Amino acid sequence: MTRVISSLIAVPLVMILAWQGGLFLIALCALAMFLAMLEFRRMLSRLDLNVPFFLMAAGVILLLGSVYFYGDTGLAGALVSVIFIFLCWFMFFYPGCSLQEVSTGLLSTLYIGLIVYVYLLRTLPNGWIWIALMLFGTWVNDTMAFLIGKNFGKRPLFPALSPGKTIEGSVGGMLGSMIVVFVFKYIYPFLPLLHLVLLGLFLGIVAQVGDLVESGIKRQAGVKDAGTFFPGHGGMLDRVDSILFTSPLVYYYVQKLIVG
């Protein structure tokens, strides 16, 4: 019941802000990124890795600012700037910081920074359709994988990363993503069917990759959930782990192959 109530509050709020776009969506992405950074930093501290929060925050602000003012053309410059910031930190505070801390801090900042693609999706032609398809395709994938895996799962998918996930659940998750794209085809008949089918298939796979990657990070840190921000669901990072992978996938697929 706690999970259901949390979803009933969070999902409509996210969809309203995604519909509004602009500063509303940037603010939502910023909130998600800063909460995810706090959770990631706590997990790193459990591994005796001390990465200053202000460094990660500076990296996130650069990424957010670049996409807001310049779109995806600003990402290259922002990426170089983030790398430069972390290397300068290593130089100025050596030997007080280790190369391992610099590497993990940089990687975690860029990993969380993938949320900027949620905003970029909204900037595409028919951006509302694509961001909605990405979100619902990801969420339904996760729900179907859980339900099918819990009731019919027998064969483990990646037991070393997540013992509870099964092959049957994985297939159910991909089926869920495919259902979503066909629903969108029905609602928006002008969408290209072949591209939707391929996008649904790729989204179904990539969503589960994102979930498994975060499972590996949590297993390394020895935690069950990244945080407690969403009652019944875990932390912010637990809610956006798949979106970190599906939003860049949908953005570049639509930009390169559909919009042209």
Lowest mean pLDDT among 107-116, 122-131, 158-167, 247-256: 158-167
Closest CA relative to residue 237, chosen from 83, 95, 42: 42
| pLDDT for the residue 153 | 83
Residues whose CB is less than 8 angstroms from the CB of residue 225 and which lie 6 or more positions away in sequence, other chains included:
218, 234, 235, 238
Provide the H-helix boundaries in 47-98: 53-70, 75-93
Where does the pLDDT of residue 6 fall: very low under 50, low under 70, confident under 90, or very high at 90 and above?
low
* 198-251 pLDDT tens trace: 999 999 999 999 999 998 988 888 888 777 666 655 788 988 999 999 999 999
Please state whether 234 falls in left (phi above 0), alpha (psi between -120 and 50) or beta: left
Domain coordinates in residue numbering, the chain = 2-259
> How far is C-alpha 160 from the chain's CA centre?
22
* 44-70 pLDDT tens trace: 888 888 888 889 999 999 999 999 999
Adjacent-strand bridge partners of 230: 234
Closest CA relative to residue 255, chosen from 139, 155, 144, 123: 123
The pLDDT of 19-31, averaged and rounded, is: 94
Closest CA relative to residue 64, chosen from 134, 104, 119: 119
* 108-122 pLDDT tens trace: 999 999 999 999 999
| pLDDT for the residue 231 | 60
3-class secondary structure for 137-189?
HHHHHHHHHHHHHHHHCCCEEECCCEEEEEHHHHHHHHHHHHHHHHHHHHHCC
* 131-145 pLDDT tens trace: 999 999 999 999 999
Global pTM reads: 0.93
CB 56 within 8 A of CB 41: yes
